[in-house]
Amino acid sequence: MNDLTATLIELIDVSSETGSEGRIATHVAAEFLPTWGRLGVDRIGNSVIVGDRSLHPTVLLVGHLDTVPSQGQGPAYLADGRVHGLGASDMKAGIAVMMHLLNDAAVRAGPYPIAGVFYDREEGPADANGLETVLERAQWLTEAEFAVVLEPTDMELQLGCVGSINAAVRFAGVAAHAARPWTGENAITKAGEWLTQMHGRLPDVVHVAGLEFKEVATVTMANGGVARNIVPAMVEFNLNYRFAPDKTLDEAETSLRAITSDADEVEIVDRAPAAPISEDSPFLQHLIGVCGGPIRPKQAWTDVARLAGRGVPAVNYGPGETLQAHQAEESVPEENLRRTFETLKRFLTTSPAPLE
């Protein structure tokens, strides 16, 4: 068993479901004290920062410590070249790589200062995300020129991310006795034509920086009706709208309201911006050259958007497998750990060429 695998198995066996990250934060912080010392390790709640705050960090390595709730997984184990256990892919494999990079002598002596952010509560509600608290209380981190978020990407370099808006879409009717429906108006069937349109709606393809993002609007929840013998006077749907990085939040909201123009009422419940692609970043171009593999758009929302909102260009690149995330039999190939570590070590120990 190699050191990266051993580290990942240790991490998996420290339970860290969202809201219960205290033990793993203590474990991670202790691993850095011998190399970084007490001044180089800071803890904000159950998040851990590793870095020299007297220097402006150039590159951040970022990852969340928490996992989704257990589905009965037992202790971590290694079988057929894969590490199995809760959080193996999402995203304790990325955390293991981060730890080894930040403790690597060559990386620490590299051409620019680095810092690591291990944060809590990513798998819970967006408004409780621990990264927001860290960036608010440790604003020196936002001076970084670039960040790598080690979410599962199958070792693909994934740029940008789609934004997300959730809206309550309501159709109003008039209540009546179900035996005499003509005396009222059925809100649920009134919504039928709109639902049919949504069912057949195709993704809108948007190209940003040469990458193909898909804008989609999906009805994800429905709530309506009072009793079996009452014509419903109201029905409410949740519409989740994912939009490309070429739109601002206000532009995306305008698009969503056009999609829901047939409704009687639309209430925006929450909204999160898309992340732009910083094509002019020499660090992005350098990482593209080092990775040498496929470049994809991030067809989901991740905390690269939160970092971009603070002025830090960020990308997604990690060893985890996206289809393994949140699975009962979650696992990750050992080889992914090694290859991701080696790629990011090359990136962190060499200087980017200036853009022409």
Active site residues: 66, 122
Residue with tokens 């934060």: 25
The enclosing H or E element of 171 equals strand 163-172
Q: Is residue 63 a contact partner of residue 95, using CB atoms and an 8 Å limit?
A: yes
Kindly compute the dihedral angle of the four CA atoms of residues 229, 232, 233, 239, in this order, to the nearest 10 degrees.
160
Residue with tokens 């109201």: 234
CA–CA separation, 46 and 69 (whole Å): 17
User: Which candidate, 161, 153, 24, places its Cα nearest to that of 90?
Assistant: 153
CA–CA separation, 64 and 48 (whole Å): 10
The enclosing H or E element of 130 equals helix 130-137
Three-state DSSP state, 43: strand
CA–CA separation, 47 and 133 (whole Å): 9
Q: Is residue 336 a contact partner of residue 2, using CB atoms and an 8 Å limit?
A: no
CA–CA separation, 145 and 160 (whole Å): 16
